[in-house]
Amino acid sequence: MGVDQPPGRILKLTVCYDGTDLVGWQRQAVGDSVQALLEAALARFEGAPVVVHGAGRTDAGVHALGQVASVRVTFDHDGETLARGLNAQLPPVVRVLRVDDAAPEFHARFDARSKRYRYLIRNAALVNPFERMFVWHVPQPLDHRAMHAAAKLLEGTHDFAAFHSVGSDTSGSIRTIRASDVRRTQPAAAANVLHVDVSAASDLLAYEVRGDGFLRHMVRTIAGTLVEVGRGWREPESMVELLQSGRREKAGPTAPPQGLFLVGVDYD
């Protein structure tokens, strides 16, 4: 016999946000979190408190292009109407891109099969003020080819304890990375509207990574270590020894939060 489901429906929300002035995804005692803002907006439709579950708990200052959340509700508004209503209540830094009905047992975090992150580095003498809250400014020359070679060595199933900051509530540090690379990228389309110098596109590096799960500060610590490779402070091959060591103090610094984006979440 199956387990009876509580009354109502499960909604799957796809959300993007500018995390600059937010305390992160998870609700905190002080400050605006994405979770709390969504719960407050949804409670006005539900007429009672609701609990929103996110696929990933992004930190303060981290952004999202495609965060996914799930919530159980009893109201019957269609997805398009609900998305408009939620966006009318949310601050401009948080937008609900779409709302879909999901299976009764769907959970945004536990059903996720992989997550995709991007870390942006502006490798130039100056950083444009319009992008300063969305990139890590590294003025020293970086060898992006060496960084790419180092990033590829992280693909596969490994113990990522060396890239794990304390304070995580996850168990174990073994994760599978399905794709990991560094590439030069193009500026956002908005750059033309803002009259940003698009000739600087070659100075924008993106670390792209996709995996079945990530430890606390894992992507940012990898980014910090890759920058050390790019500066010639360590060889690309040292990533293998670093993984084997399992020692956080042997890795590079935790890169600042503003360069990190949760790009998307994959489900079956």
Annotated domain spans of the chain: 9-102, 114-266
Alpha-carbon distance 56 to 109, whole Å? 7
The pTM of this model reads: 0.92
Q: What is the Cβ-side half-sphere exposure of residue 170, based on CA atoms within 13 angstroms? A: 20
Contact present, 267 and 110 (Cβ < 8 Å): no
Longest dimension (CA), the chain: 65
Q: What pLDDT score was predicted for residue 165? A: 84
pLDDT at 233 over 80: yes
Poorest-pLDDT segment among 41-50, 96-105, 190-199, 207-216: 190-199
More confident residue, 4 or 20: 20
pLDDT exceeds 50 at position 22? yes
**Long-range residue pairs from 192-201, CB within 8 A, at least 24 positions apart, any chain:** 194/130, 196/128, 196/130, 196/131, 197/128, 200/122, 200/124, 200/128
Q: Residue 79 — φ and ψ, nearest 5°?
A: -60, -45
What would the pLDDT profile of 121-153 be if each residue is shown by its tens digit?
999 999 989 899 999 999 999 999 999 999 999
- The more confident residue out of 45 and 185 is 45
User: Are the folds of 9-102 and 114-266 the same?
Assistant: yes
Name the CATH architecture for the domain at 9-102.
2-Layer Sandwich (3.30)
59 assigned to active site: yes
Return the higher-pLDDT residue of 3 and 216: 216
Catalytically annotated residue among 4, 18, 21, 59: 59
Kindly list the distances between the CA atom of residue 150 and the CA atoms of 112, 141, 143, 173, 230, in Å, as whole numbers in the listed order: 27, 17, 11, 20, 9
Is residue 199 scored above 60 in pLDDT? no
CATH fold of the domain at 114-266: Alpha-Beta Plaits (3.30.70)
Taking alpha carbons only, the member of 128, 113, 141 closest to residue 266 is: 113
- Across the chain, mean pLDDT equals 92
